[in-house]
């Protein structure tokens, strides 16, 4: 859609709202005015002595709407607040014009961020009652009743998690950026899976160096690890011996005496063996993710998965035999070749297995994924909504509650990803990571270290390279950078 910004340059804010209102439109900034009958949005901003005014003029599909939002100039106290308030009125004017024209509001209303739970959690953390926090979602952000219920459950879980954390604790993320094959919707793992797999031995040695450097930094800072999470990629792409080496190095080099949760993603059932599960259990892992995404063989094949639903059942049985106490299973709503009925069958089959946690994702189209480059017929937004409606009802009926959620760009129907659990089996790591409750230190490929100072909300980010080749090439500087973790905590004393 053609976008004309007048009196401001809040491109990011405007694009976020464009995506919320018109997910299939991409922004264009033309030099010439719109032609007769062409779709466009004009967002202008002006300030008088008392009021700042944002005006939106939107033409779409032959119809036109206008809207205005204002804020008192007295509220623009400093540069940061000024930017926040002005962007908000520009977005709201756009939202008002867009929803008037479309005749309906998106499920998350005017919320455009990826962490909607932060808003009610922050309000309640500052003394608001649950009813007041929910009214904030309803009246200010126009969030639908279903999404409000999700956000409020997750906000309660976030506050409980915050209560359980102690000073001087961090979580650890270990990224293993390898998979046996590449899924159609993935932009993370290199397309040349075969060639990168040859780098595994070198990667394991480099990771052991990074683990040792982090162990020294944490010791110097007197910081303890509260949760460990192996993600990727698929960590169980590593052989049993390689898993033993990495998890052994972690236990030897890093003090895990305060660790209360240790997760390993064993996402692809074709990578799960009895031998690897024995290593996981012996090395302290208590939570495993077995991720079918769907239980339909036809949809699995369309995704580029080299296994069938029967392999998922076999892998799940192996995990149960291994005695690992907590199992998560991921499903995706909106996969190509899937339908609302197909998704229902997948969820029912997963619930029959009885995992402690179920995570329901909504398909996100990622740049660089095969789905994005080759295109494919996807279930409609209405069908995805029916899948999620069913999931909420079925999961609640099975005794599960939502405990964390997040949203992503280019998500089918502008919905969300939600982690569900049997009460008492919440993953603390997932809540800490999503709600940014404490520092997450990342090792390996693709992780993002977030050094978080909770009182001020200040976050310092430090990314590890995503691809194994880049990780190996830069390992000396990655090892050196671990010192920054110690420096960060020393500066807080």
From candidates 94, 108, 173, 188, binder to ligand SF4 by CB under 6 A? 188
CB neighbours (10 Å) of residue 108?
23
Q: Which stretch binds ligand SF4 (CB under 6 A): 180-188, 329-337, 377-385, 409-417?
A: 180-188
Told to check if 107 binds ligand SF4 by CB under 6 A, we report no
Q: Which of residues 2-61 bind ligand SF4 (CB under 6 A)?
A: none
Count residues contacting ligand SF4 (CB under 6 A)? 11
How far from 410 is each of 12, 111, 343, 413, 416, CA to CA, in Å?
15, 14, 20, 9, 11
Told to check if 267 binds ligand SF4 by CB under 6 A, we report yes
DSSP secondary-structure letter at 105? -
Using the minimum distance from each CB to ligand SF4, give the nearer residue, 268 or 438. 268
Told to check if 186 binds ligand SF4 by CB under 6 A, we report yes
Euclidean distance between CA atoms 457 and 474, whole angstroms = 30
Told to check if 254 binds ligand SF4 by CB under 6 A, we report no
DSSP string, 381-433: HHHHHHHHHHHHHHHHHTT-EEEEEE--TTBGGG--EEEEE-TT---HHHHHH
Euclidean distance between CA atoms 23 and 13, whole angstroms = 15
Q: Which stretch binds ligand SF4 (CB under 6 A): 67-75, 156-164, 175-183, 451-459?
A: 175-183
Specify the DSSP element, H or E, that contains 156: helix 145-164
Using the minimum distance from each CB to ligand SF4, give the nearer residue, 117 or 186. 186
Q: Which stretch binds ligand SF4 (CB under 6 A): 5-13, 105-113, 185-193, 418-426?
A: 185-193
Per-residue binding letters, 194-233, with ligand SF4 (x by CB under 6 A): --------------------------------------xx
Per-residue binding letters, 347-366, with ligand SF4 (x by CB under 6 A): --------------------
Q: Shortest Cβ distance from residue 119 to ligand SF4 (Å)?
A: 29
**175 - beta bridge partners?**
231, 444
Told to check if 183 binds ligand SF4 by CB under 6 A, we report yes
Alpha helix ranges (H) inside 222-362: 240-253, 274-282, 297-303, 309-322, 340-353
Helix (H, G, I), strand (E, B) or coil at 111: coil
Told to check if 189 binds ligand SF4 by CB under 6 A, we report yes
Whose CA is closest to 119, among 99, 96, 98, 142? 142
Name the residue with the smallest CB distance to ligand SF4. 186
Contact set with ligand SF4 (CB under 6 A):
179, 182-183, 186, 188-189, 232-234, 267-268
């Amino acid at each position: 859609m053609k976008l004309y910004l007048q009196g401001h340059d809040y491109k990011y804010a405007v694009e976020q709202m464009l995506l919320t209102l018109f997910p299939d439109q991409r922004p264009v900034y033309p030099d010439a005015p719109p032609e007769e009958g062409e779709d466009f949005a004009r967002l202008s901003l002006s300030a008088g002595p008392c009021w700042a005014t944002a005006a939106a003029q939107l033409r779409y599909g032959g119809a036109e709407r206008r809207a205005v939002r204002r804020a008192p100039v007295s509220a623009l106290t400093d540069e940061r607040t000024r930017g926040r308030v002005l962007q908000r009125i520009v977005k709201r004017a756009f939202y008002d014009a867009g929803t008037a024209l479309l005749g309906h509001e998106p499920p998350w209303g005017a919320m455009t961020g990826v962490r909607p739970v932060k808003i009610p959690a922050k309000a309640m953390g500052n003394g608001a009652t649950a009813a007041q926090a929910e009214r904030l979602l309803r009246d200010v952000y126009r969030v639908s009743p279903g999404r409000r219920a999700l956000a409020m459950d997750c906000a309660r879980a976030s506050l409980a998690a915050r209560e359980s954390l102690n000073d001087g604790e961090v979580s650890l993320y270990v990224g293993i950026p390898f998979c046996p094959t590449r899924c159609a919707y993935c932009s993370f793992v290199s397309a040349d899976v075969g060639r990168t797999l040859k780098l595994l031995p070198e990667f394991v040695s480099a990771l052991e160096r990074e683990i040792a450097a982090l162990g020294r930094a944490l010791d110097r800072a007197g910081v303890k690890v509260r949760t460990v999470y192996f993600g990727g990629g698929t960590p169980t792409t590593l052989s049993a011996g390689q898993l033993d080496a990495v998890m052994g190095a972690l236990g030897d080099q890093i003090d895990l005496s305060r660790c209360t949760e240790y997760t390993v993603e064993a996402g692809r059932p074709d990578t799960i063996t009895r031998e690897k599960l024995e290593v996981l259990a012996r090395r302290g892992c208590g939570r495993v993710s077995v991720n079918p995404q769907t239980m339909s063989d036809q949809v699995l094949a369309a995704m580029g998965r080299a296994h069938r639903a029967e392999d998922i059942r076999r892998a799940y049985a192996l995990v149960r035999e291994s005695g690992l106490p907590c199992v998560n299973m991921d499903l995706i709503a909106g996969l190509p070749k899937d339908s609302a009925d197909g998704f229902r069958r997948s969820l029912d089959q997963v619930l029959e297995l009885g995992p402690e946690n179920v995570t329901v994702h909504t398909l996100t189209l990622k740049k660089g994924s095969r789905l994005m480059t080759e295109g494919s017929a996807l279930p409609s937004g209405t069908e995805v909504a029916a899948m999620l409606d069913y999931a909420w009802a079925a999961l609640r009926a099975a005794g599960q509650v939502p405990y964390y959620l997040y949203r992503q760009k280019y998500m089918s129907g502008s919905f969300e990803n939600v982690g569900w659990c049997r009460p008492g089996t919440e993953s603390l790591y997932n809540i800490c990571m999503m709600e940014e409750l404490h520092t997450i230190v990342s090792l390996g490929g693709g992780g993002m270290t977030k050094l978080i100072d909770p009182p001020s909300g200040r976050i310092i980010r430090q990314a590890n390279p995503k691809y194994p080749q880049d990780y190996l090439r830069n390992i000396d500087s990655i090892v050196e950078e671990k010192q920054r973790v110690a420096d960060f905590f020393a500066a807080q004393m």
